[in-house]
Structure 1
Amino acid sequence: MKHRLMGPITAGVLAITSQPALAVTDVFRFVGFGQVSGAMGGAATAFDVGAAGMMTNPATLSLMPEGSQFYLGMDVTFGDLAIKNLDTGEVADSEDHSKNRGPYAVPQMAYTYHSGSLTLGAGIFPQGGVGTEYGNSSFLSRATGGLDTGLENSSRLMTLNIPFAASYEVNDKLTVGASLDAMWQGLNLDLLLGADQVGSLIGSGRASGSLVPVLGGLPDLRGAHLSFTRNHPVASGADAWGIGGRIGLTYKVSKDTVLGVAYSMESHIADMKGDATLTAVDALAGQVPLRGRISVRDFQTPAQLNLGISHQVNAQWMIVADVSRIFWKHAMKDVDVGFVADTGDNIDILLPLNFKDQTALSLGAAYQTGKWTLRGGTRFVTQALRSETLLSVMPAITTRFVSAGFSYQFSPTSKVDVAWNHSFKKKMDNSSLPNTSAPIRVEHAQDTVGLGYTHSF
């Protein structure tokens, strides 16, 4: 498999500080960016969350103290994910088998400079991800008719943002901000489809190409396995670059109350491409691997609208709230995969997702005493995934979150932020072709612990 360079900035920073990412998420987007937001239920639209504000509402950068700040952070996530076969009672746990899928470490790094009415910033922030690792011996690795294949079932999606942000204080009440992001997205995938799933895709017009009659011509087809995975801390089996960005504003209703509005645009990322192997699984002919190139087309992160408010109750207490609308419906209709074998034959597959738009409510509070600031929060979101299109390798179904954390100010120029975020266990069933062969029940919960350091100068 050819080695692809991701660029000196991305590879250099992440190879030193990270493993690939999966943090507590709404589908594939992280609940909060930075430990301040993460400890307050993901709210970040109308108060100072530090340099990570450039990922939600860049106008909040003007709420930071004047001068320069350097921020370095890390979140580590421990997932609890299991897939149950409702026919047999077997359970496939997603574990730390291999391929860098857990525990997951998410790095962040940023620099900001605030002088007068203008604040500038740049950073590196993972925006979202998902990861599963079921190994090669669970019921997910059995083809139609109970045929054991020994083939992997796993996934790893990582989306990385490199924002360049600016915030400008128009007057003593109104501040506007914007960011332009370079984006990198990488995907590892090992997926076995049973013969009934393949047949359902063909019958519904979701599988086409010159390889379709080849598969149909095998004497006893039991399934097809698609694999494009790199066992590497950063690089993925298929990847691509693109752009994104957001605009925002804050408005000081009074000296104690701030309103915020921000809109993150849907990404424009090129088709992810890489080397891949399509393996036909036949009861008589055995496993027939075909090597070639894969394209995952138009796999985008959704637009998001945030409305927020913060209120300084007194010298110690602050309360905050965000309401968000996340536009998954337009961004995530299908997983559109194209495979071209080295022989020139091809197959195009559309795995249906049909995500729904989400509404999210984030609530948080902070209490400051001396050098300590204590924080807590919660978040509730509507469900974006549909049970009839649930995929075992893309099971981000959690909808209820609780968080806590603190900051400690070592000196006027140095502080540390700590956050903990928990997603309560969520269950969802799917017994519908083509995305599953056996009827399954997904159970998913996660915990994330984050640490950040900020130095002012």
Structure 2
Amino acid sequence: MKIKIGTALALIAAGSASPAWATDTFTLEGFGAISRGLGGAAVSLDVGPAGIMSNPATLSLSTDSQDPDSNSQLLIGLDMIAANIDAYDNTTGAKAASRTHSRNRGPYFAPQLAYIRRSGKFTFGVGAFAQGGLGSEYGKNSFLSNGLSGAPTGLDISSRMFAFDIPAAVSVKVNDRLTIGGSIDAIWIGLNLNEQLQADQVGSLIGSGRVSGSLGPVLGGIPGLDAVHFGLTRNSFLLNGVDGWGLGGRFGFTYKLTPSTTIGGAYNFETNVADLKGRATLTAVSTVAGQIPLTGRIRVRDFQMPARLSIGITQRFGPQILITAEYQLAFWKHAMKNINVGFEADAGGDINVLLPQNYGNQNIVAVGGAYEMGSVTFRAGGRFASQATPGDTLLAIVPGIPRYHASAGLTYKVGKRQAIDFAYSHAFKERVSNDVLPNTSQPISITHSQNNLSIGYRLSL
């Protein structure tokens, strides 16, 4: 009955989540407030039921650390994310600020929900977590909404991507030193997108063979073509222009080298999500004929979250102090080579566009420490990452560029069976510039900083 309740709660959370802004490109920098307070480190220590998202093998550590009279834990939590994003025209100095222009955007909220239960050497778990996302909202009146002529189009420039993960996991305590675990995950990805390409960007894409279909020559032949706009957005907290379901998963281990030293590792598979499908409007903007909208069906092909390898070590100094360090390698190079869009107009004709991204693999180091003092545990951490987003393919609507984070957190135990976890992390301002076609017409720079709050309630049952 408890497992059924946990599964039901996971599905409810999946249906009620709002989007989260990601900080390791598109992915959150940690799951649960314990990990977040330690800079996102999680694979070699007990981070509670949220460990189901980082290393399922740690679930055995979590049940081992509970009240001896208890054999299960419930986590209910929430991430609250506020991003500060600005785009600049490096030629004119014009600024486009990403703010809350509609119900479609932040501040962003992401749920944390997990239930784990021990049965002998096995620990089973189910959860529902935001895996990551992105969001920008530049509105309709910035320089990003102008055509090549400089004339305003009044068309919206914005984005929202949300990846939601529902894992089912098992962990096995092989012996007093070794635990192993794995999960199979249902993955849902939803995407809103309002993107405008100026006429020279369209020409560059056509010239480089990145546009195909019968509508390509039609667009290229429109007199006075100024811009082309793709609109695939539903202005709602929950609904998206396109979405799709698929599978993911991970496996991992922990091993006690000594009673006070634990190593751990995990591998997250690249997701296998179906093409994201929905309705869209393709609008050609002409200085001669005005705006020419075409409605139709659209799909974003092979949009995936990357594989990730994590290796960590945790050292305890007595019962009160621990230090942990972790290295992660996110395989963005394979997952994000292009944004592949296909559009079929209701009136006939189609167009396929490949927007180059060419992300690089991302190297990440997370470090953290904790000090337990009675019923309160204090935490602090840092996170340092390489830049995955190349400057020459930067899109203003996809500025997943922060690299450095500082975090702090605490846990307050309420008796033996209840605990409240809290963490705050700050992503320091990062700037990336792009001055080449096809992803920008004019030289631009994007800056992005961010504040994240995470709170969780854990109950031993």
Distance of 1:65 and 1:330 partners within structure 2: 36
- CA shift at 1:344, angstroms? 2.3
Counterpart in the other structure of 2:407: 403
Counterpart in the other structure of 1:446: 450
Distance of 2:11 and 2:393 partners within structure 1: 34
Q: 1:114 aligns with which of 106, 118, 129?
A: 118
Counterpart in the other structure of 1:3: none
Matches within 5 A, 1:300-319: 300-319=304-323
- Any unmatched runs of 5+ in structure 2? 1-7, 65-70
Distance of 2:154 and 2:10 partners within structure 1: 34
Residues 30 and 41 in structure 2, CA contact (< 8 A), matched pair in contact too: yes
- CA shift at 1:14, angstroms? 4.6
Counterpart in the other structure of 1:340: 344
- CA shift at 1:9, angstroms? 7.3
Counterpart in the other structure of 2:37: 39
Counterpart of 1:280 in structure 2: which amino acid? Answer: A
Matches within 5 A, 1:214-253: 214-253=218-257
Residues 14 and 234 in structure 1, CA contact (< 8 A), matched pair in contact too: no
Counterpart in the other structure of 2:53: 55
Matches within 5 A, 1:75-114: 75-114=79-118
Residues 35 and 418 in structure 1, CA contact (< 8 A), matched pair in contact too: yes
Distance of 2:297 and 2:63 partners within structure 1: 50
Counterpart in the other structure of 2:13: 13
Any idea what SS the aligned residue of 1:438 has? coil
Residues 424 and 451 in structure 2, CA contact (< 8 A), matched pair in contact too: yes
Counterpart of 1:398 in structure 2: which amino acid? Answer: P
Distance of 1:421 and 1:256 partners within structure 2: 27
Distance of 2:295 and 2:180 partners within structure 1: 51
Residues 20 and 100 in structure 1, CA contact (< 8 A), matched pair in contact too: no
Counterpart of 2:121 in structure 1: which amino acid? Answer: S
Counterpart in the other structure of 1:132: 136
- CA shift at 1:215, angstroms? 1.0
Counterpart in the other structure of 2:270: 266
- CA shift at 1:214, angstroms? 1.2
Counterpart of 2:40 in structure 1: which amino acid? Answer: G
Q: Deviations over 1:47-101 (max 9, x none)?
A: 0001111111100000013511111110111111100001110100000111431
Matches within 5 A, 1:270-309: 270-309=274-313
Counterpart of 2:60 in structure 1: which amino acid? Answer: S
Residues 50 and 61 in structure 1, CA contact (< 8 A), matched pair in contact too: yes
- CA shift at 1:330, angstroms? 0.7
Residues 99 and 230 in structure 1, CA contact (< 8 A), matched pair in contact too: no
Residues 342 and 353 in structure 2, CA contact (< 8 A), matched pair in contact too: yes
Matches within 5 A, 1:151-190: 151-190=155-194
- CA shift at 1:256, angstroms? 0.7
Counterpart in the other structure of 1:4: none
- Any unmatched runs of 5+ in structure 1? 1-7
Distance of 1:449 and 1:441 partners within structure 2: 27
Residues 326 and 366 in structure 2, CA contact (< 8 A), matched pair in contact too: yes
Counterpart of 2:350 in structure 1: which amino acid? Answer: N
Residues 19 and 100 in structure 1, CA contact (< 8 A), matched pair in contact too: no
Identity in percent: 49
Residues 420 and 456 in structure 2, CA contact (< 8 A), matched pair in contact too: yes
Any idea what SS the aligned residue of 1:253 has? strand
Any idea what SS the aligned residue of 1:147 has? coil
- CA shift at 1:237, angstroms? 0.4
- CA shift at 1:281, angstroms? 0.3
Residues 367 and 373 in structure 1, CA contact (< 8 A), matched pair in contact too: yes
Counterpart in the other structure of 2:379: 375
- CA shift at 1:120, angstroms? 0.4
